[in-house]
Amino acid sequence: METMESYYRKVHTRTDYILAAGLLVIAVILFFVHKGVGITLAVCSGLLLLFQRSGFLFEGQKDILSMKSFDICGICRNPLMAFLEGQPVSAKIEEGTLGGIVRLEIFWSAKSETAYARVYDFVDYVYTPAGPMVSMPRERAERLMDCLSS
């Protein structure tokens, strides 16, 4: 597994544009029925487009990634770090707060064969990186997300 130190920025996804456009179409239709409701929905559509950014774009990449985060019990930190390093995991990794909290963030795209993950420790009410951003095959990240979601 290669590690990467990269920064990302939040960007609009196709879904963000579709939601804003759909709300705007409804606003135009309702404008002719009731002007106040139509104008209110049009303003909401503009605000949605202005503030809603659900995609992540890493520097130097073209694919827009989605992110999913998990709060994992602190006892599972070492097996999780081992999994991210490519080792087989013998212990069960599960969500919870037993023994403190560790946050796992996974970035992936359906178009890309690579996913990225990073672990954060919760120290003094702040999440601090516990290691570098790690790239892994998307299938391995999907297995980890399926394990944590169930």
Q: What whole-number percentage of the chain has pLDDT above 70?
A: 87
Q: Which helix (H) or strand (E) holds 70?
A: strand 66-73
This prediction has a pTM of 0.76
Q: Which helix (H) or strand (E) holds 31?
A: helix 14-33
Average pLDDT, the chain: 84
d(CA 76, CA 101) in angstroms, rounded, equals 9
pLDDT at residue 91 tops 70: no
